[in-house]
Structure 1
Amino acid sequence: MIGQSYDCARIRPVERSGLLSVRPGRLPVLGIGAALLLLTACQETGGQGGSSAQGAPSAPPQGVTAVILHPHPVPVVTELPGRVTAFQTAEVRPQVGGVIRDRLFTEGQPVTAGQPLYQIDPASYQAALNSAIAAQQKAEAATASAQLTVNRYQPLAKEKAVSQQDLDTAIATLRQGQADVAAAKANVETARINLEYTKVRSPISGRTGRSSVTPGALVTAGQTTSMVTVTQLDPIYVDVTQPSSALLGLRRDLAAGRIQGAAAGQAEVRLVLEDGREYDRPGTLQFSEVTVDQTTSSVTLRAVFPNPDGLLMPGMYVREKLRQATDPNAFLVPQQAVSRNSHGQAIVQVIKADGSAEARPVTTDRTQGSKWVVTDGLSDGDRVVVEGLQKIRPGVKLAATDLTEEQFDQRAVAALPSSTQPAR
């Protein structure tokens, strides 16, 4: 038997009447001692093979990229829909009646305050002024004659050369003449004003709209239809509505000290235009309504923006980014680092001290650019996985490449197409 090899897989030990036997036809009949020795050797061999399979080396650490986060003062920005409103609007109407002789402006072009827009035929008003001037001169002449009479009667009355009644009459005539002169002067001024009104002037500086009248048209004083509308576009207003519930929440956070309010007159406002681009000139919040609209439960906020190029036009729909306060201890987490669990709660993978990852729930308040503003769930110095999330398994060690927030931002900018990278 020594020196021979046997196939252990073919040996089937069975218990039969207390004796160990081997399936016939496979191996020669062996002694009981030899059979036991052979079975023991096979069992030892099988045991060593099992322990070898179970003792396989563990997987190497998985490579991921993490960002080391720190709290930052983050502005509390509210994005609200709104409409552009003109800073000033003037509907030009005639103050005297007549026929339009000339239009003195080009439609759609800017005009200045006091610039003539229309010329109404002034002939009748010039004649009225001349008549008023003549009436004034007549009254002044009569008054001068009455004054001479009074001057002559006063010494004669002292000498009893004329009666006191004659003197009193002369004085009354003088005073009546002086009143006539004053009335004549007023009539002259009125005629002069009406003549001036034949030049229809712009009451404000701005841009003209369409003219509703043409030369030859008859207009009347106080008519309901305006001749043209002048709109001031620089600066310009943007009116937005904010839900009263959001305003209450903001005030609660301010009162609790969780955020810091913007100083009066310094609340910065940005605009996003209808095509998705951001308006390049910031505005300031001017005022907030003191009442809530009962139909919409919202409060109207008004901001003023510079508009030298006339890009903003009344009636345009915009979205306003209103900076109402500042959160002094918020975290900016890249959006790709935030996922959702089965309950819909936002989570991030934070690398622990032993090198494994921990799924930590966080509170996301809003987005700022390509990052989430996280207000709860993170601590200063936390390492949050941003690349390689699919490699994370429970208990698996991670080989993390740590980046600062600045380094991550630089990498993100470098990955953008050259046409979209910010100018340096």
Structure 2
Amino acid sequence: MRRALALGAVLASLYTTAGCSDRASGTQRAAAPPAVPILAAEAVRKDVPLDVGVIGTVQALTTVGVKAQVAGQVVQVHFKEGQDVKAGQLLFTIDPRPFEATVAQAEANVGRDTAQMRQAEAALAQRQAEVQQALANLERDQAQLENARVQERRYKTLVEKELVARELYDQFRTNLSALGATVNADRAAIENARAAALAAQAGVDNARAVIRADEAMVQTARLNLGYTTIRAPMEGRTGNLMLQAGNVVKGNDDNPMVVIAQVHPIYVSFAVPQQYLAAIKQHQAAGPLTVRAIPTGAPKPTTGRLTFVNNTVDPSTATIQLKGTFDNAENTLWPGQYVEVVLTLTTETAVVVPSQAIQPGQQGPYVFVVKPDLTVQPRPVELGRRLATETIVTRGVAPGERVVTDGQLRLVPGSRVEIKPPKAS
């Protein structure tokens, strides 16, 4: 009974309220839905790069293993492993004392053999003087021989005419024969003197050759002495130190004492699919291509230039190897490091919107465009390449139009929106 009375009172109250409302306005109007809070951004037209993104590996420009060229004991190491060194900087010192002794011995040999050469030169001068003396004797005896022939002919005529005694003629004839024998002896003496001079000349030449050999030994000994100080062949960063002071090293050992890597500048090696090769060659012909390397955790990319395109496509991967050269002034890149590589082929002008504004739909991608009256309209779009945080829109959105970037799930066509300021990052 009490429930029936209560229900009647409620119905009466509702009837009274409805009657009052009808009298005031005839019918009750539904309240407008509240504006949906969103974030929005403008579509902009700007120059965007045509990029190719891959993963690459950092490589030292040059790597050199430093080795000892002579055997000996390392007496001092002049750097710390991992230290940057300059070209020509002293790295190691090998005990120089055995090599200094070798130099002194070689120089003493030069002095000894120089003295012997001087003796040989003196002997040569003596033999040459003997040749001259023999020639002078020959010239004198030939003159006497000629005079004896004149005398012999004269006295022969006188003997035939019986004007002089035959004994006198026989004396002149005997003298002529003796002088002829003397001239022949002089000629033989000249030949002997010349042979002796040639032998002396050979002795001098041999002594000079010995000295040249000794001087070469001196140069070799000094060169080996110079090898006891080992210097950096180039500028770079040292790696692990393979030995310490006190160790004995071999000449040209297989294991280097330290490895130096040149990192200023430095390479980044990477491979791109072969379909980009034609575009790379085309744009590289117009000017250097920019390469950006982004190490993991780096605050900003490092910029370099494309300097190498391999001459062969790898048939197993259908890629072409490229290399970019970077100054690496801040030591951002490290040999062996994996980095994200972006090769910029060219730039083009396009309309871009934030990538989060693109929504997938049954008819394709679309965006919500904010109209001037702060209502939204879904609009299908055609998309181009996706950039780092933006996407190129080739059709559907004009520059300057605002698109919704956050809050799309609560929107329907014609929804009123309230654009919120972006959150401070």
TM-score in same-fold range (> 0.5): yes
4+ runs deviating over 4 angstroms = 55-70, 262-265, 349-356, 378-382, 387-394, 396-401
**2:178 aligns to what?**
none
Deviation of residue 187 (structure 1)?
0.7
Give the number of aligned pairs: 341
2:395 alignment partner, one of 351, 359, 377: 377
Higher mean C-alpha deviation, range 227-236 or range 56-65: 56-65
**2:359 aligns to what?**
339
**2:74 aligns to what?**
100
The normalised TM-score by structure 1 is: 0.69
In the alignment, the residues of structure 1 paired with residue 369 and residue 400 of structure 2 have an alpha-carbon distance, to the nearest angstrom, of 7
2:352–2:392 Cα contact (<8 Å) kept: yes
Higher mean C-alpha deviation, range 71-80 or range 186-195: 71-80
**2:337 aligns to what?**
316
Deviation of residue 71 (structure 1)?
3.8
**1:215 aligns to what?**
245
Q: What is the letter of the counterpart of residue 234 of structure 2?
A: I
In the alignment, the residues of structure 2 paired with residue 214 and residue 340 of structure 1 have an alpha-carbon distance, to the nearest angstrom, of 65
1:125 alignment partner, one of 99, 121, 124: 99
- 2:264 is paired with a residue whose SS is coil
Deviation of residue 166 (structure 1)?
1.4
Deviation of residue 62 (structure 1)?
9.8
**1:171 aligns to what?**
201
Name structure 2 gaps, 5 residues minimum: 1-25, 136-189
Q: What is the letter of the counterpart of residue 291 of structure 1?
A: T
**2:19 aligns to what?**
none
In the alignment, the residues of structure 2 paired with residue 357 and residue 176 of structure 1 have an alpha-carbon distance, to the nearest angstrom, of 107
**CA pair 122-386 structure 1, distance change in 2 beyond 3 A:** same
Q: Is 1:386 equivalent to 2:404 in the alignment? A: yes
2:383–2:391 Cα contact (<8 Å) kept: no
Deviation of residue 95 (structure 1)?
0.8
Q: What is the letter of the counterpart of residue 122 of structure 1?
A: P
1:350–1:382 Cα contact (<8 Å) kept: no
Higher relative contact order (CA 8 A, sep 6+): 2
**CA pair 393-108 structure 1, distance change in 2 beyond 3 A:** closer
Q: Is 1:199 equivalent to 2:229 in the alignment? A: yes
Q: Is 1:362 equivalent to 2:336 in the alignment? A: no
Deviation of residue 264 (structure 1)?
5.9
Q: Is 1:225 equivalent to 2:225 in the alignment? A: no
In the alignment, the residues of structure 2 paired with residue 356 and residue 128 of structure 1 have an alpha-carbon distance, to the nearest angstrom, of 94
2:355–2:386 Cα contact (<8 Å) kept: no
Deviation of residue 114 (structure 1)?
2.2
Deviation of residue 309 (structure 1)?
3.8
- 1:292 is paired with a residue whose SS is strand
Deviation of residue 113 (structure 1)?
2.0
2:368–2:376 Cα contact (<8 Å) kept: no
In the alignment, the residues of structure 2 paired with residue 68 and residue 130 of structure 1 have an alpha-carbon distance, to the nearest angstrom, of 85
1:270–1:278 Cα contact (<8 Å) kept: no
1:66–1:400 Cα contact (<8 Å) kept: no
**1:416 aligns to what?**
424
Name structure 1 gaps, 5 residues minimum: 1-51, 256-260, 402-407, 418-424
Deviation of residue 385 (structure 1)?
2.7
Q: What is the letter of the counterpart of residue 338 of structure 1?
A: I
1:96-149 Cα deviation digits (max 9, x unpaired)? 112222222222222222222222222221111111111222232223333344
**CA pair 99-382 structure 1, distance change in 2 beyond 3 A:** closer
- 1:339 is paired with a residue whose SS is coil
Deviation of residue 262 (structure 1)?
5.3
2:351–2:399 Cα contact (<8 Å) kept: no
**CA pair 67-198 structure 1, distance change in 2 beyond 3 A:** closer
- 1:169 is paired with a residue whose SS is helix
1:346–1:362 Cα contact (<8 Å) kept: yes
**2:90 aligns to what?**
116
Higher mean C-alpha deviation, range 179-188 or range 329-338: 329-338
1:357–1:392 Cα contact (<8 Å) kept: no
- 2:311 is paired with a residue whose SS is coil
1:318-349 Cα deviation digits (max 9, x unpaired)? 1122212222x322212232111226x43335
Q: What is the letter of the counterpart of residue 211 of structure 2?
A: V
Deviation of residue 379 (structure 1)?
7.0
Deviation of residue 246 (structure 1)?
4.1
- 2:387 is paired with a residue whose SS is strand
- 1:289 is paired with a residue whose SS is strand
**CA pair 151-325 structure 1, distance change in 2 beyond 3 A:** farther
1:91–1:229 Cα contact (<8 Å) kept: yes
**CA pair 107-397 structure 1, distance change in 2 beyond 3 A:** closer
In the alignment, the residues of structure 2 paired with residue 262 and residue 268 of structure 1 have an alpha-carbon distance, to the nearest angstrom, of 10
2:307 alignment partner, one of 266, 272, 286: 286
Deviation of residue 391 (structure 1)?
7.4
- 2:134 is paired with a residue whose SS is coil
Q: Which has the larger radius of gyration?
A: 2
In the alignment, the residues of structure 1 paired with residue 263 and residue 107 of structure 2 have an alpha-carbon distance, to the nearest angstrom, of 43
1:116–1:200 Cα contact (<8 Å) kept: yes
The normalised TM-score by structure 2 is: 0.68
In the alignment, the residues of structure 1 paired with residue 229 and residue 286 of structure 2 have an alpha-carbon distance, to the nearest angstrom, of 44
Deviation of residue 193 (structure 1)?
0.8
**CA pair 342-119 structure 1, distance change in 2 beyond 3 A:** same
Deviation of residue 362 (structure 1)?
0.9
Higher mean C-alpha deviation, range 130-139 or range 380-389: 380-389
**CA pair 105-237 structure 1, distance change in 2 beyond 3 A:** same
2:309–2:320 Cα contact (<8 Å) kept: yes
Q: What is the letter of the counterpart of residue 303 of structure 2?
A: P
Deviation of residue 392 (structure 1)?
6.2
1:150–1:167 Cα contact (<8 Å) kept: yes
**CA pair 73-378 structure 1, distance change in 2 beyond 3 A:** farther
In the alignment, the residues of structure 2 paired with residue 307 and residue 383 of structure 1 have an alpha-carbon distance, to the nearest angstrom, of 41
In the alignment, the residues of structure 2 paired with residue 57 and residue 107 of structure 1 have an alpha-carbon distance, to the nearest angstrom, of 78
1:53-74 Cα deviation digits (max 9, x unpaired)? 9x99999999999766454331
Paired-residue identity, %: 29
1:165-210 Cα deviation digits (max 9, x unpaired)? 1121122222222222211111111011111112222222222222
Alignment of 1:32-43 (within 5 A): none
- 1:312 is paired with a residue whose SS is coil
**2:290 aligns to what?**
268
